[in-house]
Structure 1
Amino acid sequence: MSTSLTSTPERAASLIERINSVKSNIQELGAASRTRLVAVSKFKQASDIQTLYDQGQRHFGENYMQELTEKANLLPKDICWHFIGGLQSNKCKDLAAIENIWAVETIDSEKKAKKLDVARAGKSKINVFIQVNTSGEDQKSGLNPGAETVKLAKFIELECPNLTLAGLMTIGSLKNSASNEENQDFKKLTEAKSLVESELGLSELELSIGMSSDYKEAIRQGSTNIRVGSYIFGAR
C-alpha cells in the first residue's frame, strides 16, 4: 500500500463527485439525520481515504485486519473505523488495540464478543453489531434471526462491559438486492431488531444494511448505517 496521502486531481474529483452523489441520495430520501454513511475503503489507497476525510467524511469500513491496522497507523486519529470483515477469534486482541476503532459489525458468537471485550478493558467502548444471516445462505456468516440473535444480544449486554450493543447487521442475498420489491432480507433484520429490543427492554437499536447496489432500498426500509464501497471508490 502506498503511503502517499495525496491523490491526483482527477482521482480526487472523481471520489468527491461520487460520495456527494450518495449523500445527495440520502438527503432526497429524507434520511440525512438518521443514516450514517460508511465509506468502505478495502484495497484502496490511504490517499483515497485522506481525500474524503478532507471533505468531512469520518466513517470508513475495512474488511481485513492487517490493512486496517496499517491505515489506522497512517491516517488521522479521529477517523471512526468500522471492521466489517469476517472476524476471527485470534484477531480480537489486535482489533481492540486500534484506539479509534468505532465499531465491529460482524460479531456472531459469545466467544468473539468476550475476547473483544476483555482486550478492550481500560479503553473507550467499542460499538458492536450482531451479524445475522437473514438469507440462510451457507456461504454467509451470521446467526439465525430469532433466539440465537437474542441470546448473543443478552450476553453482550450483561457480560461485556467494554462493548456497546449498537444494533444488527446483515448482508442480503444478491437476488433480493436486485429485486425492485421490498427486500425480504432487510425485512427479516428489522423484525429481528424488534424482537431483541422487546426481549431486552431496549429501544433504538441500529440497522446496518445496504451497500453500493441496494443502499437506497435499505434506507427506505429503515437502515441507519449504510456501507458503500465500489460506488464511491470504483472496482478493485
Structure 2
Amino acid sequence: MSLAYTVERAQEIADNLTGVKAKLDEALQSKGASAQKARLVAVSKLKPASDILAAYEKTGQLSFGENYVQELEEKSKELPSDIQWHFIGSLQSNKCKVVAAIPNVFVVETVDSAKKATTLDKACAAAARPEPLRIFLQVNTSGEESKSGMLPSAVLEVAQHVVETCSHLKLAGFMTIGSPNPDLENGENPDFKALSECRTTVQDALKINGLELSMGMSDDFQRALLQGATNIRVGSTIFGSRPPFNKTAA
C-alpha cells in the first residue's frame, strides 16, 4: 500500500477540507448562541491511504470514515495510530471480531439491532479492549426498504439492551442517512428531526445525557448541523468521486 502523494493532490484535499469547514462555521454562525460544533468525519472509503495521509499531514484531520471491514483493517495498519476511525458501513456479524481488534476504531456507527450489539460486545471482550467501544445505533428514519437501520419505534428497547447488558460497549449516540429528497417542512428535514426525537426519548427514559447525532453528508450537512448534528460524514466533497466498488474490499 503506497502512502506517497503528490503536492497537487495534497493541496486539492486540503482546499476541499478547508471549504467544508468554512461552510460548517457559516452554518454555526447562522444558528447563533444555540450552535454546537460538530465533528467532521472525512469519508475515505475506496480512496487510497495516501489521500488519508495527505489530509492528516496537511490539515491535521483525525476523523475518517470507512465502509468496508477489510479496507479499514488494512488502512489502520499502515496509517498513523492516532487516527480516529469511524466504521460507517453495514457490519456483518462475522466481521465483528475484526473490527473489535482494531485498536483505534473510535466508533462503530452502524449497530442496527440488539443481536448485533451483543455480537460486537462479545467480540470486544475477546479482543480485551481497554475501554468500551463507542457505538451509534443506526436508525432508518425515512422508512426506505433499501436502507439499513432499525425503525425509530425500536430504538429505546435496543438502547436499553446496550446500556444494561453490553458492558464492553458504550452507547454514544444515533446515526441516520437522510432521504435524498426530503419534504422539508418549515425548513426542517424530517429524518433529522426524527433522529433528534429518538435521542430525546432515550435520554429521558434511561436518564443519560450527551448522546450524539450522526447525520448529514455531502449534500445536506449544513441542514443537519442546523438541526443539531454533532457528527457529520462528508466524502465526495473532500476526496472527489469514488471508483467502482470492489467486492474484495468488503
Provide the rounded CA distance (Å) in 2 between the counterparts of 1:204 and 1:101.
Answer: 20
Q: Which residue pairs with 1:38 in the alignment?
A: 41
Of residues 26, 29, 45, the one that matches 2:27 is: 29
| Consecutive unaligned residues in structure 2, runs of 5 or more | 30-34, 243-250
Query: Would the alpha carbon gap of residues 9 and 71 (structure 1) be closer, same or farther in structure 2, given more than 3 Å must change?
Result: same
Contact persistence 1:109–1:152 (CA under 8 A): yes
Q: TM-score normalized by structure 1?
A: 0.95
Count, aligned residues? 233
Of residues 207, 210, 214, the one that matches 2:216 is: 210
Query: Would the alpha carbon gap of residues 177 and 212 (structure 1) be closer, same or farther in structure 2, given more than 3 Å must change?
Result: farther
Q: Which residue pairs with 2:147 in the alignment?
A: 140
The residue type equivalent to 1:197 in the other structure is Q
Q: Which residue pairs with 2:105 in the alignment?
A: 101
Query: Would the alpha carbon gap of residues 177 and 169 (structure 1) be closer, same or farther in structure 2, given more than 3 Å must change?
Result: farther
| Partner SS for 2:187 | coil
Provide the rounded CA distance (Å) in 2 between the counterparts of 1:172 and 1:180.
Answer: 17
Q: Which residue pairs with 1:167 in the alignment?
A: 173
Question: Within the alignment, does 1:231 sit opposite 2:237 as a pair?
Answer: yes
Query: Would the alpha carbon gap of residues 56 and 178 (structure 1) be closer, same or farther in structure 2, given more than 3 Å must change?
Result: farther
The residue type equivalent to 2:148 in the other structure is S
Question: Within the alignment, does 1:120 sit opposite 2:127 as a pair?
Answer: no
Query: Would the alpha carbon gap of residues 45 and 157 (structure 1) be closer, same or farther in structure 2, given more than 3 Å must change?
Result: same
Provide the rounded CA distance (Å) in 2 between the counterparts of 1:52 and 1:35.
Answer: 18
Provide the rounded CA distance (Å) in 2 between the counterparts of 1:136 and 1:26.
Answer: 28
| Consecutive unaligned residues in structure 1, runs of 5 or more | none
Structure 1 residue 9 displacement after superposition: 1.3
Structure 1 residue 178 displacement after superposition: 8.8
Question: Within the alignment, does 1:192 sit opposite 2:198 as a pair?
Answer: yes
Q: Which residue pairs with 1:83 in the alignment?
A: 87
Provide the rounded CA distance (Å) in 2 between the counterparts of 1:89 and 1:177.
Answer: 35
Of residues 49, 52, 56, the one that matches 2:52 is: 49
Query: Would the alpha carbon gap of residues 57 and 179 (structure 1) be closer, same or farther in structure 2, given more than 3 Å must change?
Result: farther
| Partner SS for 1:48 | helix
Provide the rounded CA distance (Å) in 1 between the counterparts of 2:142 and 2:67.
Answer: 21
The residue type equivalent to 1:145 in the other structure is P
Q: CA RMSD in A?
A: 1.6
Contact persistence 1:105–1:131 (CA under 8 A): yes
Q: TM-score normalized by structure 2?
A: 0.89
Q: Which residue pairs with 2:247 in the alignment?
A: none
| Partner SS for 1:30 | helix
Question: Within the alignment, does 1:129 sit opposite 2:136 as a pair?
Answer: yes
Of residues 18, 21, 43, the one that matches 1:20 is: 18
Provide the rounded CA distance (Å) in 2 between the counterparts of 1:177 and 1:5.
Answer: 43
Query: Would the alpha carbon gap of residues 178 and 11 (structure 1) be closer, same or farther in structure 2, given more than 3 Å must change?
Result: farther
Question: Within the alignment, does 1:71 sit opposite 2:75 as a pair?
Answer: yes
The residue type equivalent to 1:208 in the other structure is S
Provide the rounded CA distance (Å) in 2 between the counterparts of 1:181 and 1:27.
Answer: 19
Provide the rounded CA distance (Å) in 2 between the counterparts of 1:20 and 1:235.
Answer: 18
The residue type equivalent to 1:225 in the other structure is N
Query: Would the alpha carbon gap of residues 77 and 179 (structure 1) be closer, same or farther in structure 2, given more than 3 Å must change?
Result: farther
